[in-house]
A and B are shown apart, each in its own frame.
Chain A
Amino acid sequence: MRVWLLLAIVVLAGTAGEISVTRAMKRIGEVHHFNPRALLGVLGRAFRIGWMWLGLGLLAMAFFSLLALLSWENVSFVVPLTALSYVVGALMAKIFLKEEVDRIRWIGVLLVVVGVVLVWVG
């Protein structure tokens, strides 16, 4: 039971964390300059956005849940199941970021999930 609960946290918190980081970065807008000074500026702005901190918190939570999970279960059991994150991620991006996930992108996402499962189960 606690294995499935932790797995749900890894997938949901991990994906929600990345969606939050995306939200923060979309607020900053497209980065055009990549010199060290410009990059520091982007970082400075990112860390003044609440979504960024929420995202990092959720990602930390997912990371430590994954560590705990790996202490009980085999990697080849855990990683294929976390591949579900790609589906959850596409769904959340559609709902919370209003991204258009067309049919081709969905098929691509599903193939990626199947592929990751095969690589780890094989």
Chain B
Amino acid sequence: MSVASRVRMKTYVLIVLMVAFGAMGDVLLGKGMRESGGISLGSFGSFVDGIVRGFHNNLVWVGILSLIIFFLCYMLVLSWADYSFVSPASAISYAVVTFLGWMLLGEAVNSTRWLGVLVICLGVFLVGHTPTRTTGEIE
């Protein structure tokens, strides 16, 4: 494999990991926070209260761990790939989450949302066909 295609492969793998851990983190954190009673944004006191209650829930911790792994993958991929490549490419997560919600949770998805999924996939496909890196080292 050439150096360029190896770097491209590495980039794709990390973006897939980002999407997986990011989506998993969001779902677990959301589920855990709802289980623990949710955050009230009414006053600062009740807001802090909600967060503290969340920390007593195991799902919240797994969610946070997931999001930390997501951010680590983001940092790693940005050590070589363009930000303007990685950022739009990772938007594929909106399409994946919509699809999984429909398939696994039986969520209703109307035609406007399916069109959105299609347009996102098209956009990511185009971005994915540009060079992963267009700059040299930055000091």
Interface residues of A (CB under 8 A from B): 18-19, 21-23, 25-31, 34, 39, 42-43, 46, 67-68, 70-71, 85-86, 89-90, 93-94, 97-102, 104-105, 107-122
CB of A26 within 8 A of CB of B75, answer no
* Nearest neighbor of A120 in chain B, beta-carbon distance: B116
CB of B112 within 8 A of CB of A26, answer no
Number of residue pairs spanning A and B whose beta carbons lie under 8 angstroms apart: 156
A45 to chain B, nearest CB (A): 10
A46 to B75, CA, bound (A): 9
Quick one: which of B113, B117, B130, B135 contacts A26, CB cutoff 8 A? Answer: B135
Scoring A22, A86, A113 by chain B CB atoms within 10 A of each residue's CB, the highest score goes to A22
A80 to B116, CA, bound (A): 11
Residues in B with CB closer than 8 Å to A117 are 116
Known: A71-B41, A108-B126. A26 touches B79 (CB 8 A): yes
Known: A23-B138, A89-B84, A112-B120. A104 touches B126 (CB 8 A): yes
